[in-house]
Amino acid sequence: MNMLGLLAHVVPATVDTPDIDDSTSFWRWDFAWEVLPQMLSSFLQVTLLVTVVGTMIAVVLGLVIAILIRLLPKPLSLLVTWIANFIRMTPIVVQLLVLFYGFVWMEPMTIALLVYGVHYSTYMSEVYRAGIDSVPTGQWEATTALSMPATRTWRRVIIPQALRSTVPSLGNYAISMFKDTPFLISISVMEMVTTALEIGGFTYRYIETITIAGLIFLIASYGTAVLVNRLEKALAYAH
């Protein structure tokens, strides 16, 4: 998509380029309300979608990685650890660009969901690993004494206890994913911050759009933190 097409897609038809007097005003409430629907649309359709789906992928895949590292024979465990470390230590924008230019048949949004999910799964796997290691040795010995199958041991004993201590850190990574979504512009995915910059560049008004983007991020991050806190309390109560 060329720049004119991009601007036409991002900027609402009702947004007019401000005149000289308008451009000297520090804040215009009418302009802020005018662009708010477009900002919310970008947030819901891209920023929130990538964060929610990416977090779901990362939560599940991170747990799988942590379990594999513990159960696999040492050579394979070291290989999985090396791959996870490589992904974690590589900038997420580089991973986006590699897939974008190397797998041209994939949709940019599909690439975004995969990269964010896999990238953050490597961080969450370390959180899970610490949670699993924190399970008392007596719990492992008790399941062995009871001849409990391995799958049931993990499902009913180890994972529930490990989750109680990992929920806050997992929530923090979900919030971090929100703040990393502006990197999506590198693969031509218009998330909320990029939309704010494009509208600002077209109308010569950045204060309103950037402030709105910041407030939406703040509200979304705070809401996520509240949910994580409630989940942590619920798991503690279940214990």
- Residue carrying structure tokens 């939309």: 195
Any domain includes 17: no
Q: Answer whether residue 13 is part of any domain.
A: no
Counted domains in the chain: 1
Domain residue limits at 139: 42-238
* pLDDT tens profile 4-45: 344 444 444 444 444 434 555 788 899 999 999 999 999 999
CA distance 230 to 239: 14
Helical axes 48-71 vs 108-133, angle rounded to 10°: 40
Task: Evaluate whether residue 21 is within a structural domain.
Answer: no
| Count of C-beta atoms within a 10 Å radius of residue 214 | 13
For residue 108, the domain's CATH number is 1.10.3720.10
Q: Taking all residues of the chain, what is their mean pLDDT, rounded to a whole number?
A: 85
Q: What is the pLDDT of residues 42-88, one digit of tens each?
A: 999 999 999 999 999 999 999 999 999 999 999 999 999 999 999 99
Domain membership flag for residue 126: yes
Q: What percent of the chain has pLDDT over 70?
A: 88
Q: Is residue 124 domain-resident?
A: yes
